[in-house]
A and B are shown apart, each in its own frame.
Chain A
């Protein structure tokens, strides 16, 4: 048996703990997003939203979870029982995968040892993100297909077509960003935006395109045609019950969390906050880093709120409108954006 050297064991252990923490934070955010969604919906409609379970409804997600777990697990008469189970699991796994590359802060130094609060600092993080995001569709399509239900299938087809269409514009908008930053690493992109040099100020058009596409990628209103209640009952998760349904619902919130993180990192400075160096000099690097983590979480929270704000404002697009927006507007706009950024880089660099 080959004995692992000490350094490698400690490295694996460190990463394992980090993975658990990131996983827990992601799940916590997803859990409380369900409450926040209902609260925001309520407040926007001049109501209070759920406020009976605990103060301000703080225990509502636990109650919902207990309810989902205790529900009857119903399996429709389908020849694809295995796929039917894989569908929700896949949706969940894929939306959790993305958070591996999020840089949470600079290096923490504890007892002379450096800890990087990022599960994997890979130099092609942005490519990884795009790849992971485009596989999110498989969970939906597999589940929809295995449901043996026409509504589900229709929802799955819609989701597939929509994601493929918006993937194009999203990738192209990211190309414009990468042309300016010159790197695929999310950590380097974050570090380039130190202070207030947010990419959002340099590339508002890219932000605009990316924002719209990420709404479509998360299957959120106004692009939630996959689970459009008014025509397709509930789209791809019509036939799912109990925790399988919960997984689909949850994976939506997890991917919302992840794309909020991505927007904050790519365009709004990630964990940077004004005065970070001053704090690091006067109060110590670890405190500055803790504040950095909180800053990133704050930015993520804001964008999750933004998702909800949009959801409770805008009605759903019609399917042909969705396709027209994706192919005839965003796609040319993204191409034009690349040209524009290229010209600007030529002039200013």
Chain B
């Protein structure tokens, strides 16, 4: 088979330079046809999303701003193992571990926790490898459904725990889907 005849898409058509007929040369019929098409679109349904009033749903795999999860009792899940920082191809994550004291039992899930946890949102490429790497289900960027807001200084893009960790109430109510709170009546 000659290469000219191969059509992988199956839509190949030969170019023809045939003379136009008299009616085609008048363009008149083509123009009327075109105007019928545009008037049909004039009355058709509009596809515009009226943004501030009307928001489109994010796709379930949308990767937005990271969140650090709390468990159903409101304790931080992160143990500062550093696997996310290791997995990060953009070197965006830094953390400093600390040991939990007796009084902090209700704050942190395990003995070791992240005293400082920072993500540089300018370095982050939102690939989601930290989420995949996390063995404790602590960091997610598919669940926040939030954008990183624009700003004017570079410093402000380094998000610390104040911005990343979800609130205790959100942790208990399981607002960020996928981590359903286990209804434990004994706790309340």
Chain A interfacial positions (CB closer than 8 Å to B): 40, 43-48, 309-310, 312-314
Does the CB pair A48–B34 fall under 8 Å? no
Q: Chain B residues with Cβ under 8 A from A313's Cβ?
A: 31, 34-35, 37-38
Minimum distance in angstroms from B15 CB to a CB of chain A: 20
CB distance from A80 to the nearest CB of B (A): 40
Check if A48 sits within 8 Å of B38, measured CB to CB: no
Give the contacting residue for A309; candidates B38, B45, B47; CB below 8 A: B38
Interchain pairs with CB closer than 8 A, number: 35
The 18 listed contacts between A and B (C-beta, < 8 Å) are: A43-B43, A43-B46, A44-B38, A44-B39, A44-B41, A46-B44, A46-B46, A46-B48, A47-B46, A48-B46, A48-B50, A309-B35, A309-B39, A310-B35, A312-B38, A313-B31, A313-B34, A314-B31
On whether the beta carbons of A43 and B42 are closer than 8 Å, the reply is yes
Known: A43-B46, A46-B46, A47-B48. A314 touches B39 (CB 8 A): no
Closest 5 pairs (CB-CB, A-B): A313-B38, A44-B38, A43-B42, A313-B34, A313-B35
What is the distance, in angstroms, from B72's C-beta to the closest C-beta of chain A?
45
Residues 63-78 of B, flagged 1 when their CB comes within 8 A of A and 0 if not, give: 0000000000000000
Q: Which of B34, B37, B42, B46 contacts A40 (CB 8 A)?
A: B42
Contact of A48 among B35, B37, B41, B48 (CB under 8 A): B48
CB distance from A196 to the nearest CB of B (A): 24
Select from chain A the residue with minimum beta-carbon distance to B37: A313
Chain B residues near A45: list those with CB within 8 A.
41
A40 — which chain B residues lie within 8 A by C-beta? 42
Residues on B with C-beta less than 8 A from A46 are 41, 44-48
Task: Give the distance to chain B from A47, nearest Cβ to Cβ, in Å.
Answer: 5
Q: How far in angstroms is the closest Cβ of chain A from B20?
A: 13
The complex places the Cα of A79 from the Cα of B140 at a distance, in Å, of: 67
- Contact in complex: A44, B42 (CB < 8 Å): yes
The residue on B at minimum CB distance from A329 is B26
Chain A residues with Cβ below 8 Å from B31 are 313-314
- Known A-B contacts: A44-B39, A48-B46, A313-B38. Give 17 more (CB < 8 A): A40-B42, A43-B42, A43-B46, A45-B41, A46-B41, A46-B45, A46-B48, A47-B46, A47-B48, A48-B48, A309-B39, A309-B42, A310-B35, A313-B35, A313-B37, A314-B31, A314-B34
